[in-house]
Amino acid sequence: MKRIVSKPLHYFILAAVLMWIKSYVAYKTEFNLGVSGVMQQILLFINPVSSVLIFLGIGLFFKGKKAGAWILAGSFIMTLLLYSNILYYRFFNDFVTLPTLLQTSNAGSMGGSIMDLLKAHDVFYFVDFIIYFFFFFSKKIDWHNEKVSVKNAVTILSLGFMVFSVNLTLAEIDRPQLLSRTFDRNYLVKYLGAYNYTMYDGVQTAQNSKQRAFASSNDLTNVVNFKNSHYAEPNSVYFGKAKGKNIIKIHLESFQSFLIDYKLNGQEVTPFLNSLAHGNDFTYFDNFFHQTGQGKTSDAELMMDNSLYGLPQGSAFVLKGSNTYQAAPAILDQKAGYTSAVLHGDYKTFWNRNEIYKQFGVDKFFDASYYNMTGENKINYGLKDKPFFKESVPMLQSLPQPFYAHLITLTNHFPFLLGNNEASIQPANTGDATVDRYFQTARYLDESLQSFFQELKASGLYDNSVIMIYGDHYGISENHNAAMEKVMGKEITPYENAQLQRVPLFIHVPGVKGGVNHTYGGEIDVVPTLLHLVGIDSKEFIQFGTDLFSKDHDDVVAFRNGNYVSPKYTLVDGTYYDSKTGQALKENNQMKAYKQKVAKELELSDQVLYGDLLRFHKLKDFQTVDPSKYMYGKEETETSAK
């Protein structure tokens, strides 16, 4: 060993290799990263390399012993980073993020228990320092005469950057839009490693605090003016009709409206939902649109709990997870004594739910750790919908009433996989396997919903609950238009594609007669609609949607990219169409006014999120939510890999 480590370069290699091994061992033993497949295994193995080469490699540019000092200090900082993530993960089942760390309350909640988190084997993470110190202080290395040449130092650094680009490219192939959609810390660590994740988190935090620092309460003026002029009075026929009732909100993953009444090989695909659409128990909105952007599910959730639009890039759930909100769970709690809960068969870090739900005031978050996630119960992103609904019933029964419960399904998610013998209908035969399978998972979702209804009725919950069912966003993207032409039996023009963004919205209010409602609306409109049903006026809150039942409802539905649909006109990428016939039209004043309204609405909503403007919006009888009062997870059972 003594002879082997005789030059600064050797010292660097020793530290780099040990840091690499240490990081990899920690990944494998300390975290549940849910690594599956050869590609993910390879990525996990190589992802510490770039950070080690770049970060420690910078030291090689220094003269004399300073080079060694840099490598020593660098290894120490990297170890601290790794180890703080290990401790944090043992407690929160999550990775450290700067915003949560900066909220003292959060780190504070770990406080007294830090000692309990330490384990004897943790010595392993620091034992290499004995070696580093030994060689640093001994005379074995001639720091002054054996300096690494600039050429070699540059080569090592370039190698680091090269490995990083290969790592990132492979990660993007395995998980497209990894960075732009920003979905899960777990995924970032799995694909890019703990150190690169920290850098990414640091850059995002810096950007966020800059945007926040430049915002002031004056920026609220335009927003408040817009919401005052845009407010739609409640409809007295519906106002307060759901007062005191539980609210069960069911998220149908990737479910598009074209499935309703669609017949595949002469058979209905979703007979149960079809029966709801044609009965009188539910109001079925057949001109309801999703308005999500890159944040997909999280955008739908954001809109449907806050009446704020998702961001133009990335997910507000992740990028604005520490903002102040005026969300439905908090409003329902403060104005009407509701307990709120989210139930979902994926782990809590996905979409940063475990952080942003605290800002929304969600009381309970039953994530995957509460469900039986073993063996056949799981597919694709998480728990299958049938066991999900089944296991959710007792959880709902455990909630104090009235409750506001949000159940998020998962099986009808790209690439639409089912277990053996779980498909009750044949796939379609467009030749596009994704589209073909979509019908089978949609049927599975329909069946799981039907059983859930039976259980709700048996449990007695059905009688005193509002039930809201919605599709979150498209399941079949534009990339599958060729197959969709076969499904729809017509050409999918840009106009048709806009029409395909319809997702169903069903609302059942006990004692209220339903039927089909043709009002044009979108996810942004759900919060004011719901609040008015419960008998809470939405007027004082900053919300961009309007009550779907109101006579003043704004029926110009904005898409996140500035396109829109309305009963009369549809705008897609600069071309206007007649909404009924699809014929292209020349711009008139009304079309233009709609376009400007949509642009303004999106811009103001973005300002609210970027500037964290709701922190300035003080209301007399609504308290700002204190996130430190909420804590989720059953860490002790969260041992099975994702």
Sequence ranges of the binding site for Mn(2+): 253, 297, 472-473
Interface stretch with ligand GP9, choices 56-64, 171-179, 408-416, 582-590 (CB under 6 A):
408-416
Selection from 583, 505, 522 nearest residue 558 by Cα: 522
Question: Nearer Cβ to ligand GP9, position 365 or 549?
Answer: 365
User: Which residue number has the CB closest to ligand GP9?
Assistant: 296
How far are the Cα atoms of 273, 428, 442, 472 from residue 257, in angstroms, in the given order?
10, 17, 11, 11
Quote the CA–CA distance of 279 and 273 in Å, as a whole number: 10
Quote the CA–CA distance of 580 and 599 in Å, as a whole number: 23
Interface stretch with ligand GP9, choices 102-110, 234-242, 357-365, 406-414 (CB under 6 A):
406-414
Partners of 119 in beta bridges = none
Number of residues that bind ligand GP9 (CB under 6 A): 8
Binding mask 248-277 for Mn ion (x = CB under 5 A): -----x------------------------
Selection from 277, 338, 327, 333 nearest residue 471 by Cα: 277
In the complex, minimum distance from the CB of residue 393 to ligand GP9, in angstroms, rounded to a whole number:
21
The structure tokens listed for 394 are: 């007792």
346 binds, among Mn ion, ligand GP9, none (CB under 5 to 8 A by kind): ligand GP9
Q: What residue numbers does the annotated binding site cover?
A: 253, 297, 413, 472-473
Residue 474 binds ligand GP9, judged by CB under 6 A: no
Residue 346 binds ligand GP9, judged by CB under 6 A: yes
Residue 296 binds ligand GP9, judged by CB under 6 A: yes
Which residue among 246, 283, 294, 297 contacts Mn ion (CB under 5 A)?
297
Catalytic annotation present for 493: no
From the list 182, 270, 297, 546, the catalytic residue is: 297
Nearest 5°: the CA angle 224, 225, 228 is 85
User: Are residues 542 and 617 in contact, defined by beta-carbon separation less than 8 angstroms?
Assistant: yes
Residue 297 binds ligand GP9, judged by CB under 6 A: yes
In the complex, minimum distance from the CB of residue 253 to ligand GP9, in angstroms, rounded to a whole number:
6
Partners of 288 in beta bridges = 521
Beta pairing class for 465-471 and 246-252: parallel
- Burial environment of residue 555 by CB neighbours within 10 A (0 to 12, 13 to 18, 19 or more): middle
In the complex, minimum distance from the CB of residue 422 to ligand GP9, in angstroms, rounded to a whole number:
19
Question: Nearer Cβ to Mn ion, position 477 or 628?
Answer: 477
DSSP 299-349: HHHHHHHH--PPPSSS-HHHHTTTS----HHHHHHHHH--EEEEEESS-TT
Residue 472 binds Mn ion, judged by CB under 5 A: yes
Query: Is residue 51 classed as helix, strand or coil in its secondary structure?
Result: helix
Binding mask 359-388 for ligand GP9 (x = CB under 6 A): ----------------------x-------
In the complex, minimum distance from the CB of residue 392 to Mn ion, in angstroms, rounded to a whole number:
18
How far are the Cα atoms of 200, 347, 369 from residue 637, in angstroms, in the given order?
30, 12, 6
Interface stretch with ligand GP9, choices 168-176, 201-209, 405-413, 434-442 (CB under 6 A):
405-413
Question: Nearer Cβ to ligand GP9, position 296 or 364?
Answer: 296
The residues binding ligand GP9 (CB under 6 A) are: 296-297, 346, 350, 381, 408, 410, 413
The catalytic site residues sit at 297
The residues binding Mn ion (CB under 5 A) are: 253, 296-297, 472
